[in-house]
Structure 1
Amino acid sequence: MEALKLIVVTFVTLFVSGTHSVTFTIQNHCPYTIWPGTMTGGGKPQLSSTGFELASGASTSLNAPSGWSGRMWARTWCSNDPSGKFTCRIGDCGSGQIACNGAGAMPPATLVEFTLAGYGGNDYYDVSLVDGFNLPVTIAPEGGSDGGLSCKSTACPADLNAICPSDLAMRNPEGYTIGCKSACLAFNKPEFCCTGNFATPVSCKPSDFSKVFKSACPQAYSYAYDDKSSTFVCGGGPNYHITFCP
């Protein structure tokens, strides 16, 4: 009887704590190779891969434990220098390797951000342009039960490099825009970075620059306090399909 009670208690504990994993499928629809990176937040263990090469048309899957939080992005314009050090012009994580080993993206880079099994047991996710833009991306929940929540896809499907204001553009040696900085990165002013006297939602408003991002990608974070239209919630433990260049 005691053994049965122990089994029941163990099962309930596992169920309540949400030990199931979530599968992220990362797809490259760009007409060139990209190098996705992952970074885990909160001092928790990193995922099984913190960076990898993904050829055009290819996909790969990563499993994340319940309660995982972190971000993903795709590095572009990458190569090995003469010493063998791996570097990327856009989204580099500074590790010198394809694996990022816990380091984040150097802006500008389009970010996808997740908190799994967060408040109320729900998943929270977004596409963020707060650190600028380099590639279009879509997040699509798959499976799960919404419990009355939206479980909607979110995306920045537009190529912001094509409409990037000249003051924000990062160009390659040939003069083509390969990344679009945020106004915060470009000018480092409190009103663009939502710092100092502008560190509240009331005082920090959208700028003309962030409005360019928002107009092209209305579901994505365009500046730090863009929560109302840009944070998405889903219950039931779905998996997620992340597509670059959807």
Structure 2
Amino acid sequence: MRKILFAVIALIAVLTTAKATAAAADHTVTFVNQSGQAIWVGSAVNADGSVNFTRLPVPRNGQSATVTIPESAAPNHWRGKFFARQGCGGTSGSTFRCKVADCGPWADRCTTGEQPASLAEFNFDRKDALAPWYNVSYVNAFSLPITITPRDAQATPPECEAMGCTQNLLPYCPPANLTRWNDGTPMLCTNPNRDAKTPYSNAIQSRCPKAYAWSKQDTEPGNSVVGQCRKCSGFTVTFHNGR
């Protein structure tokens, strides 16, 4: 009987440990490139101890790549953003530059703040029972359509909803805010004032209500710009076609 009891206790201990390990698993973010061009994933973090990535992927059109969020290591949170660098070229560490979302001379990491672009923003925090939080931001600019979709979500809407939109919004950019590629096609729509309602924010918000078009949009009644998903294995960030 004692042997059976000890076996049961051991089994419970194993199951408890396995459950705790599973609960503590780091989230992953998978980038899917449906933009029609090569992109270099960029990233930046908040000034709160979050550790930025040093080996970011370069998915070609139609490819995907996954990173693991380092939330189980100190400081046990990761707050930051991902974006697609476009029109890049040069030697990494030297002459490498991007026409959109440039963030320094390295192909696999960012060493400066990013130039205006579409952003996928996240708050992973082991001390926040409601985390992760996530949103798509076009507050600074619109470069490519972005969607964020939770994976293996164990919740019902409005929790764990997809954020962002698949529609290319460059055709609706006010002419004064639009820059173009060398071939004349629209490249980037830049917000002239991120902290106020503008023709830019009106054009973005009316067509993509599940993304930030200006910095204070989350204070507007009935807004739906921030997502939250307590139980999921990670997220898929898809960069859609912007041409």
Q: TM-score per shorter chain, which class?
A: 0.7 to 0.9
Asked if the contact 1:183/1:210 (under 8 Å) is kept, the reply is no
Partner residue of 2:53?
A: 47
Partner amino acid, structure 2, of 1:43: G
1:100 matched residue in structure 2? 109
The amino acid across from 1:230 in the alignment is V
Cα deviation code 1:196-230 (max 9, x no counterpart): xxxxxxxx5x3332010111211100000111320
State the partner residue of 1:134.
143
**1:155 and 2:164 correspond:** yes
Post-superposition shift, 1:74? Answer: 0.1
Equivalent residue for 1:122, pick from 131, 137, 140:
131
Q: How many residues align?
A: 217
Give the partner amino acid of 1:85. T
- Name which of 55, 59, 71 aligns with 2:81: 71
- Greater shift in the superposed pair: 64-73 or 39-48: 39-48
Q: From the CA coordinates, give the structure whose radius of gyration is larger.
A: 2
2-structure distance, mates of 1:150, 1:54: 29
Output the amino acid matched with 1:163.
Y
1:223 and 2:214 equivalent?
yes
Task: Give CA deviations for 1:152-177 in whole Å, capped at 9, x if unaligned.
Answer: 11123121222211110012333322
Taking only aligned residues, the RMSD between alpha carbons, in angstroms, comes to 2.8
Structure 1 stretch 215-224 or stretch 83-92: which is displaced more? Answer: 83-92
* Amino acid across the alignment from 2:173: C
Name the SS for the 1:213 alignment partner: helix
1:87 aligns with 2:97: yes
Aligned mates of 2:68, 2:152 — CA distance in 1: 15
Query: Match of 1:120, SS?
Result: coil
How far has the Cα of 1:20 moved from its partner? 1.9
Of all paired residues, the percent bearing the same amino acid is 26
In the alignment, which residue of structure 2 is the partner of 1:26? Answer: 31
Structure 1 Cα separation of the partners of residues 146 and 240 of structure 2: 6
The whole-number CA distance in structure 1 between the counterparts of 2:118 and 2:157 is: 29
Give the structure 1 partner of residue 121 of structure 2: 113
Could you tell me which runs of 5 or more consecutive residues in structure 2 were left unpaired when the two chains were aligned.
1-8, 72-76
How far apart are the structure 2 equivalents of 1:98 and 1:19?
31
The answer to whether the aligner puts 1:244 opposite 2:235 as a matched pair is no
Q: Secondary structure at the match of 2:59?
A: coil
TM-score, normalisation: structure 2: 0.79
Deviations 1:86-123 (A, max 9, x none): 111111002x111234533211x000000013643421
Sort the Cα spacing of 1:100 and 1:48 in 2 relative to 1 into closer, same or farther, 3 A. Answer: closer
Q: Secondary structure at the match of 2:170?
A: helix
User: 1:39 deviation in Å?
Assistant: 1.8
Residue identity in the other structure for 2:37: Y
Aligned counterparts of 2:87 and 2:129: Cα–Cα separation in 1: 40
* Distance in 2 of aligned mates of 1:79 and 1:103: 17
Pick the aligned partner of 2:152 from 143, 146, 150. 143
Residue ranges of structure 1 left out of the alignment (5+ in a row): 185-192, 195-203
Moved over 4 A (4+): none
Q: Tell me what 1:187 maps to.
A: none
Structure 1 length as normaliser, TM-score? 0.78
Contact 1:47–1:63 (CA<8 Å) still a contact in 2? no
